[in-house]
């Protein structure tokens, strides 16, 4: 059994990790930390876990985490980077669900996250945990930067097009819509039911931290800089991201359906729908799945890709478990076979 | 492996049965019927099942169902009773998720359901599938009447009080609130998002078909007639029932907390919360669980019981699988260990 | 024109007051205060008011409010009582939308609100602003205690029964369900969309501050103490309260429909529905209305009253404007003729 | 007083027209027709109108409508065109909220709406009722084609850019999100609360009937054909459209904020927000308003316009009343001064 620890398990990615790891056949959930909830039973905070998770939150402390085989950070940005060197030295492997190791250039990171990086030397070693791109590197990684939710949905949708070189990399638009759980479990007015409910809005159009992350990933596969407009929106639901992606075709004869089907033929967690489909976010609710569909309206110059994930699963905790499975030589789907809850 | 068939799998209890049976370790999902969707892939109708259920809907036909060990009816009322005799004769066991076999007296059934009963002779044999009351009878049953959703939530809340004789059986009030999936997957104006969303109302206060079912069950444990006022409401959410139950205490010294904890100590799917708790429907979303809490406001004469279930799971498909497990000698929890999806 | 001031206009009752007063034909909205938002335009915080309300929030300060004819307090409990004596002396009339003047006995108030009362001497003068009970007293009042949202819905439902003496005052149960806006516009985890959405729960069953307020009001009309069980619930919608009321009939021959219709025949804001109706909260969304329906299931001993209001209108800001209209000799319906928004 | 009739008042645009006309100072609501609800009180179907609209539905019949000064058609497509010639001859003026007169070329109409047009000769006379473009023509019109909801939101957002010639008309993308009321009040599975709730999806990406309508309008102002990709989505809320519009700038020095502010300076129902704003759909809920904001991410080549309306008001019934006001020489804002309901 893999001995797993979770740092900062009081948010939505934390409780989702707990749900997945509690049912994982090869994991022993050993430690969960929280400064604020120290001493409380996990199941008091999250009653869905009553009878299934018997842990109490403990004070965050590297000592108690050192005995873990893997430590998940479900913390605010800027936390994992402080503990990573110590834990790695102690032999633990790390999966950071926050953003500390997602950008390769330390200048970019410090600009976008507004603080100095505590262990920039690890940025080169960290592996960006998108298995559909970096599977082999993840297997050997000590330190995995689990991708953001928007970046997962957007990259999986653009990848086949850029890899095949059939779209202009200067023409990318990602119009993305997220359920409110993407904003976390924080006491903020803007995500109250009475503010975000029965309402729709864009936010952070001038600049969103997922923009450089997406751009970095797309540039890597495009083999050069890409021009990306990224507009995130808040939609009045709990879970789910729907990314609507636009790009200008450079090869008007490309068979887009075949291209996507071949690219993802062996991917357990990416599902290419039949032609003319419209994936629904609820079709992946609670499941580690990305579902994709492609359109070319009026046979014109623009390809439209529709990409849905559950932001807390394939966009966070589920992908983290997928990465753990790869890192520890387990079947990639272990503990990730939940069927989406519909309705 | 148990060979299972589903009749009428296009509604919400149908897709939920499919979700649960597709992940059940001892079940081979062999047949699913639907007149309207004949020939279609199950996963076209319910894309959450893509890659997990490879069946197509077939014409309802007793012949194809006869080879099944168990047949689930997820049909409108009045359907199962037409096929039951034939299938039972062929050796299949039946779990009816509709109401055909829930009431013991044929006069009651015909009055409340407005049609003649097609096989009244089976009413005496049918076992009411509430395992917390009828576990032993269910094990041997050929024909199980799976309880309604409201009846499950209400009976589990009142049972310990009536069994212990600590409340006046003439004083029962059940104020119940259901998510909209309880109304089924039917093209009706009243359950449109724009009608039922952002709205709350009572319905069927003069008479609801679950009233005689609940009363029959409570009378059996009370050992005599009960007086029950039952007021159902529609609440703007998808899954979940919250029953708020009121009764007048006859024994003012009763330790209600202990009473409930002892009654359900060995029940895998009934969870008594600590004193002063308020169970949330989301704590059982997608899980085969009932969670209960008891209150006695201002130490007065009225006990208040709060009872939550997922109407599609413990209130329908999950309880049906629980009954199947009992009928076939499987561990009662087999295939039912999903943790509730929160948030 | 009546010169009106609002203290604490950044919550939901505040913005609702602004909406109603901005369209009121006889009101000049002169001042709005907020410590936190001092200097900001009201329409920056509440963009629905762009082009309609041109005020900026100013520092709360009795001096600036003294010139007002009427001052509304849309503040937390314990605020209005500090300013009331000064403002009254200056000749302003006060309508407190919080609870400072709702309970007549200072001991009760201090027990339930957990602080000493700053001007207990005004409790006797304050008029409880439920026009359907206290219309004449309100006309002359200098200081009106605007009722709570639950108390409005519950009292209007029970009043005819208690006034007519047809139910046992020791048998009252109020099972009430509120939209989330009743909890206010506060940064709290429990009312986030991801916590309160797609979820239903009871809360504060042991004790809720509206219990003594309701009991006081009902006792006054019953002419003696009443026994009331009050169970509030949170339902996943923004606006609306649905109270389901139960009482034991003492006069089995009472014509309940006629009783309610006669009691409210001349009330502009109470609407008794035809027999067998089920009022919906959305039928009063945004409107200063209470809609009522009565049932007597199976012609038994229990009467069930269904009562709906918009908690922010008839349960708060609308009722406050109704009180202002009475206090200043305006038509009672002035500025309150909005039709509910459906869907 | 203007004598107004409504044909087909049982849908959401119908009830919204009723709400607005019932409060309109210059309108006498004389007739409302419905084949299905003939004889029923309007307020039985829509209880929000109790006490405010005392009409009963009558059989659709041109005779009864001939006496009206204006007839609104809130009917399915293909209805108004059958009655229009007769009613116009009788001297009534017509506002069609459906699509019968929106496309100028009969071939286009017949292709997109799949039926022969019953009075193609009127297409040339019909005025497209977008007051911000066609105000003067509307004043004199006998027959107004009220724009679709998406076309209103999208055209108002693109107009200033195309009129000023600062974007490439071959680069237009409209990513639009609609609340579910846009699909109407029809008994269809896809818009049930349990299907459309807590879910997000695109639909009709290959072809949507609003595409030719938008394109026709934009081409008119652009002075030539435009290339438009239009992707509609369904978002889990009742009212509201949010259009996110993308276009490639051809004049990199354009002051977009000034451009929009000047274009709409005198428009009572178009509100240009300050720079860096993100309009919310709830800021226009129930109000006849369009709110707009412009962005140019990273100062790049793409302009992003955010446009919100209430699909039932500025996108349907409110715009119809605005057109009526123009046609009858009333103040354009008469009866349209409702402030949006927030929260």
A324–chain D nearest CA distance, Å: 29
Asked whether the beta carbons of A228 and A151 are under 8 A apart, the reply is no
Q: Hey, of A11, A187, A192, which one would you mutate to test binding to chain C, going by the most C CBs within 10 A of its CB?
A: A192
Among the partner residues D15, D185, D198, nearest to C198 by beta-carbon distance: D198
Among the partner residues B206, B236, B278, nearest to C202 by beta-carbon distance: B278
C119 is catalytic: no
**B191–D194 CB contact, under 8 Å:** yes
Identify the band that residue C61 occupies on the pLDDT scale cut at 50, 70 and 90: confident
pLDDT exceeding 90 applies to what percent of chain C? 97
Among the partner residues A12, A189, A193, nearest to C238 by beta-carbon distance: A193
pLDDT exceeding 70 applies to what percent of chain A? 100
Torsion on CA atoms D163, D168, D169, D170, rounded to nearest 10: 180
Please, which chains are in contact with C (at least 3 CB pairs closer than 8 A)? A, B, D
Q: Give residue-wise pLDDT tens across range C178-189.
A: 999 999 999 999
Flag whether pLDDT at B63 surpasses 90: no
Among the partner residues A230, A282, A295, nearest to D199 by beta-carbon distance: A282
For Cα atoms C62, C66, C68, give the angle at the middle one, nearest 5 degrees.
125
- As a whole number, mean pLDDT of residues B146-174 equals 98
**D285–C47 CB contact, under 8 Å:** no
**B185–D192 CB contact, under 8 Å:** yes
Q: Hey, of C149, C176, C179, C199, which one would you mutate to test binding to chain B, going by the most B CBs within 10 A of its CB?
A: C199
> Judging by beta carbons within 10 Å of its beta carbon (0-12, 13-18, 19+), is residue C88 exposed, middle or buried?
middle
Flag whether pLDDT at D236 surpasses 90: yes
Q: Give residue-wise pLDDT tens across range B220-251.
A: 999 999 999 999 999 999 999 999 999 999 98
| Cα–Cα distance, A183 to B216 (Å, whole number) | 48
B53–chain D nearest CA distance, Å: 20
D-chain CB neighbours of C42 within 8 Å are none
Flag whether pLDDT at B30 surpasses 90: yes
Residue A143: strand, helix, or coil: strand
pLDDT exceeding 70 applies to what percent of chain D? 100
Q: Which of residues 201-220 of D touch A (CB under 8 A)?
A: 201-203, 205-207
Flag whether pLDDT at B131 surpasses 90: yes
CB within 8 Å of C66: residues ≥ 6 apart: C86, C87, C90, C91, C92
**Within chain A, what is the greatest distance between any pair of CA atoms?**
62
Q: Which of residues 278-307 of B touch A (CB under 8 A)?
A: 279-280, 282-287, 291
Q: Which ranges constitute the DSSP H helices of chain D?
A: 12-22, 42-45, 62-66, 80-89, 106-113, 131-140, 149-164, 193-196, 210-222, 256-263, 318-327
Beta-ladder partners of B6: B32, B72
Identify the band that residue D260 occupies on the pLDDT scale cut at 50, 70 and 90: very high
Asked whether the beta carbons of A245 and A173 are under 8 A apart, the reply is yes
Which of B68, B119, B140, B149 is catalytic? The answer is: B149
B198–chain D nearest CA distance, Å: 8
A-chain CB neighbours of D205 within 8 Å are 278, 295, 297, 304, 306
Q: Give residue-wise pLDDT tens across range D22-40.
A: 999 999 999 999 999 999 9
Beta-ladder partners of B295: B304
Among the partner residues D279, D285, D342, nearest to C15 by beta-carbon distance: D342
Q: Which residue has tokens 């039952």?
A: B230
D307–chain B nearest CA distance, Å: 22
Asked whether the beta carbons of A27 and A21 are under 8 A apart, the reply is yes
A-chain CB neighbours of D174 within 8 Å are none
* Closest alpha carbon within chain D to B238: D194
**C339–D48 CB contact, under 8 Å:** yes
Torsion on CA atoms C182, C183, C184, C187, rounded to nearest 10: -160
Shortest CA distance to D251 belongs to which of D343, D166, D316? D166
| Cα–Cα distance, D176 to D245 (Å, whole number) | 8
pLDDT of the residue at A113:
97
| Cα–Cα distance, A108 to D39 (Å, whole number) | 69
B14–chain D nearest CA distance, Å: 14
Sign of the Cα pseudo-torsion (C59, C65, C70, C76, in order): positive
B341–chain A nearest CA distance, Å: 7
Beta-ladder partners of A144: A95, A127
DSSP per-residue codes, A149-185 = HHHHHHHHHHHHHHHHT-B-TT-EEEEEEE-GGGG-S
Asked whether the beta carbons of D143 and D101 are under 8 A apart, the reply is yes
Among the partner residues D23, D280, D339, nearest to C52 by beta-carbon distance: D339
Sign of the Cα pseudo-torsion (B114, B115, B121, B126, in order): negative
- As a whole number, mean pLDDT of residues B134-147 equals 98
Q: Which of residues 135-194 of A touch C (CB under 8 A)?
A: 180-181, 185-189, 191-194
End-to-end CA distance of chain A: 34
**B200–C233 CB contact, under 8 Å:** no
**B235–C200 CB contact, under 8 Å:** yes
| Cα–Cα distance, B262 to B255 (Å, whole number) | 11
Asked whether the beta carbons of A108 and A214 are under 8 A apart, the reply is no
Identify the band that residue C252 occupies on the pLDDT scale cut at 50, 70 and 90: confident
| Cα–Cα distance, B243 to B228 (Å, whole number) | 13
| Cα–Cα distance, A325 to C270 (Å, whole number) | 63
| Cα–Cα distance, D128 to D101 (Å, whole number) | 8
Query: φ and ψ at A272, to 5 degrees?
Result: -90, 120
Shortest CA distance to D186 belongs to which of A198, B238, B46, B195? B195
Shortest CA distance to A32 belongs to which of A68, A61, A56, A3? A56
B-chain CB neighbours of D186 within 8 Å are 189
Exposure string of B283-293, with b = 16+ CB inside 10 Å and e = fewer, is: bbbbbbbbbbb
Per-residue 3-state assignment (H helix, E strand, C coil) for C115-137: CCCCCHHHCCCCEECCHHHHHHH
> What tokens were used for B51?
């890659």
pLDDT of chain A, 343 residues: tens digit per residue: 999 999 998 999 999 999 999 999 999 999 999 999 999 999 999 999 999 999 999 998 878 898 999 999 999 999 999 999 999 999 999 999 999 999 999 999 999 999 999 999 999 999 999 999 999 999 999 999 999 999 999 999 999 999 999 999 999 999 999 999 999 999 999 999 999 999 999 999 999 999 999 999 999 999 999 999 999 999 999 999 999 999 999 988 889 999 999 999 999 999 999 999 999 999 999 999 999 999 999 999 999 999 999 999 999 999 999 999 999 999 999 999 999 999 9
Cis previous bond, A201, omega within 30: no
> Taking the model in full, what pTM does it have?
0.97
For Cα atoms A257, A261, A263, give the angle at the middle one, nearest 5 degrees.
120
B-chain CB neighbours of D12 within 8 Å are 194
pLDDT of the residue at C62:
78
DSSP state, C340?
A: P
**B238–D180 CB contact, under 8 Å:** no
CA A56 to chain centre: 26
* Closest alpha carbon within chain B to C227: B300
**B48–A291 CB contact, under 8 Å:** no
Per-residue 3-state assignment (H helix, E strand, C coil) for C69-93: CEEEECCCCCCHHHHHHHHHHCCCE
Beta-ladder partners of B307: B243, B292
Q: How many CA atoms lie within 13 A of D282 on its CB side?
A: 21
* B246 part of contact set with chain C, CB < 8 Å: yes
Q: What is the mean pLDDT of chain B?
A: 97
> Judging by beta carbons within 10 Å of its beta carbon (0-12, 13-18, 19+), is residue A116 exposed, middle or buried?
exposed
C341–chain D nearest CA distance, Å: 7
What amino acid positions of A are annotated as catalytic residues? Answer: 149
| Cα–Cα distance, C309 to C279 (Å, whole number) | 10
> What tokens were used for C125?
């003068």
Q: Which of residues 217-236 of B touch C (CB under 8 A)?
A: 227, 229-231, 233, 235-236
pLDDT of the residue at B252:
84
Q: Give residue-wise pLDDT tens across range A57-71.
A: 999 887 889 899 999
What amino acid positions of D are annotated as catalytic residues? Answer: 149
**D342–C273 CB contact, under 8 Å:** no
| Cα–Cα distance, B160 to B256 (Å, whole number) | 9
């Amino acid at each position: 059994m893999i001995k797993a620890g979770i740092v900062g398990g009081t948010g939505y990615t934390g409780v989702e990790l707990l749900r997945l790891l509690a049912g994982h056949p090869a994991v022993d959930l050993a430690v969960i930390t929280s400064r604020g909830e120290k001493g409380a039973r996990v199941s008091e905070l999250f009653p869905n876990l009553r009878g299934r998770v018997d842990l109490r939150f403990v004070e965050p402390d590297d000592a108690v985490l050192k005995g873990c085989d893997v430590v998940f950070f479900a913390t605010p940005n800027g936390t994992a980077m402080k503990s990573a060197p110590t834990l790695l030295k102690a032999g633990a492997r790390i999966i950071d669900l926050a953003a500390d190791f997602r950008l390769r250039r330390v200048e970019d990171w410090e600009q976008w996250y507004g603080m100095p990086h505590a262990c920039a030397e690890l940025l080169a070693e960290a592996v960006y945990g998108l298995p559909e791109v970096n599977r082999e590197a993840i297997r050997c990684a000590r330190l995995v930067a689990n991708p953001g939710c928007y970046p997962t949905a957007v990259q999986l949708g653009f990848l086949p097009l850029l890899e095949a070189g059939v779209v202009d990399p200067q023409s990318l638009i990602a119009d993305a819509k997220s359920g409110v759980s993407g904003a976390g479990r924080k006491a903020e007015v803007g995500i109250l039911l009475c503010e975000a409910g029965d309402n729709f809005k864009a936010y952070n159009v001038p600049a969103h931290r997922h923009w450089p992350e997406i751009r970095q990933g797309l540039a890597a596969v495009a083999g050069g800089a890409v021009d990306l407009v990224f507009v995130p929106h808040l939609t009045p639901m709990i879970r789910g991201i729907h990314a609507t992606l636009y790009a200008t075709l450079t090869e008007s004869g490309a068979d887009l359906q075949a291209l996507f089907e071949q690219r993802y033929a062996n991917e357990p967690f990416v599902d290419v729908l039949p032609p003319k489909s419209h994936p629904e976010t609820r079709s992946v609710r609670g499941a580690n799945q990305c579902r994709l569909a492609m359109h070319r309206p009026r046979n014109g110059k623009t390809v439209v890709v529709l990409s849905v994930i559950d932001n807390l699963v394939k966009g966070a905790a589920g992908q983290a478990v997928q990465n753990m499975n790869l890192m520890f030589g387990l079947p990639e789907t272990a503990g990730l076979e939940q069927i989406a809850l519909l309705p």
